[in-house]
Amino acid sequence: MIAFIARRLLQAIPVLFGVSVAVFLMLHLIPGDPAELIAGQQATAEDVQDVRRALGLDQPLTTQYFTFVGNALQGDFGESFRTHRPVLQEIGFRYGNTLLLGLTAIFIAVVAGTLSGIVSAVRRQAWPDHLTLAIAILAISTPGFFLGLLLILVFGVWFPLLPLAGFDSWQSLILPGVTLAATSAAVISRIMRASLLEALDYPFVRTARAKGLRESQVVWRHGVRNAIIPVVTVSGLQLGYLLGSAVVIETVFAWPGIGRLLVQSILARDFPVVQASVLIVACTFILVNLLTDLLYGLLDPRIATA
């Protein structure tokens, strides 16, 4: 187990290196000069150059990159160009809010997707199966920002039952959580359906039926238990997807998370905050995949030795 974890962590090093290079180059290649934004419209060319020199943007790109990497390895991501506060302090609670939103969304997605997938498989070709398929297609094909605006219109304007934006109480989690979970719930539902249908055709399941076990026992004890492993894998991947998709949802619901901070920082050309935010999200995705693989191994011991 320790060797497996060490191997996966070593494999993460080139991934993080590639992510850091990609985000660094993209930030420096897009139009816009952060020194001009910080200096202001009334600044002279000399003022802009002074700001650029103070930020270290006058140095070659290779020097800027290796300086960033060297400081990041020591836990120092620099200061924000906008607020002049430490980057980790800027990200701080925002990352926790995004993680809370992502965990809420994956909980909703796993519960709704798993239960609907089970119902769909058990009632195959009946109206619950057709209804689940229609809802899944609708959820997958609807953009997150449109679904979010629709939920705001229905539950915030027509029927003012839930908060529209911000994070004031646990109720503020419902609308963005459901919006973020919709696509993942549809994916998990279809995976669960296919996996359970395959599991219910196994010989030992037919043997269990022949012994006279109740259908509910056959489904839950033999079918779902063997069909849940692919769902665990997909759920882990979906959590990473949700953290990435939170950028749009947090903007729609004014959620004080790292996704919204990332959008604001890109518009302001706040390079240190953008670079640190992307790296932290990448590290989270890698950690989630590692935990998923470990859970996969617990569910199926044969995989732990692979």
Comparing 295 with 148, the larger pLDDT belongs to: 148
Examine the pLDDT at 111 and tell me if it is beyond 90. Answer: yes
Q: Residues 199-249: pLDDT tens digits?
A: 888 777 777 777 777 777 777 777 787 788 888 878 877 877 787 778 888
Beta bridge partners of 24: none
d(CA 281, CA 284) in angstroms, rounded, equals 5
d(CA 61, CA 29) in angstroms, rounded, equals 11
Predicted pLDDT at 302: 56
Comparing 293 with 128, the larger pLDDT belongs to: 128
Residue found by looking up tokens 């995004």 in the block: 98
Cα 118 to chain centroid distance, Å, stands at 25
Rounded to the nearest 10 degrees, the angle between the axes of helix 87-122 and helix 271-299 is 40
Cα 266 to chain centroid distance, Å, stands at 19
Are 250 and 261 in contact, with CB atoms under 8 Å apart? no
Examine the pLDDT at 152 and tell me if it is beyond 60. Answer: yes
Nearest CA among 14, 294, 191, 231 for reference residue 306: 294
Nearest CA among 53, 52, 91 for reference residue 72: 91
Highest-scoring range by mean pLDDT, 75-84, 126-135, 286-295: 126-135
Average pLDDT over residues 283-293: 82
**10 Å Cβ neighbour count for 77?**
22
Examine the pLDDT at 251 and tell me if it is beyond 90. Answer: no
Structural domains of the chain in order of their starting residue, each with its CATH number: 2-73 (no CATH), 91-304 (1.10.3720.10)
Mean pLDDT of the chain: 84
pLDDT-derived band at 299, boundaries 50, 70, 90: low
Q: Residues 1-41: pLDDT tens digits?
A: 677 778 878 888 888 888 889 888 888 887 777 888 777 77
Predicted pLDDT at 305: 44
Angle, CA of 143, 148 and 153, to the nearest 5°: 130
d(CA 45, CA 147) in angstroms, rounded, equals 46
Predicted pLDDT at 116: 92
DSSP secondary structure string, the chain? -HHHHHHHHHHHHHHHHHHHHHHHHHHHHSS--HHHHHH-TT--HHHHHHHHHHHTTTS-HHHHHHHHHHHHHTT---B-TTT-SBHHHHHHHHHHHHHHHHHHHHHHHHHHHHHHHHHHHHTTTSHHHHHHHHHHHHHHHS-HHHHHHHHHIIIIIIS--S--SS-SSGGGGHHHHHHHHHHHHHHHHHHHHHHHHHHTTSHHHHHHHHTT--HHHIIIIIIIHHHHHHHHHHHHHHHHHHHHHHHHHHHHTT--SHHHHHHHHHHTT-HHHHHHHHHHHHHHHHHHHHHHHHHHHHH-HHHHT-
**10 Å Cβ neighbour count for 110?**
21
DSSP secondary structure string, 207-256? HHHHTT--HHHIIIIIIIHHHHHHHHHHHHHHHHHHHHHHHHHHHHTT--
Rg of the Cα trace of the chain? 24
Rounded to the nearest 10 degrees, the angle between the axes of helix 174-199 and helix 225-252 is 160
Q: Residues 89-105: pLDDT tens digits?
A: 888 888 889 889 989 99
Predicted pLDDT at 247: 84
pLDDT-derived band at 303, boundaries 50, 70, 90: low
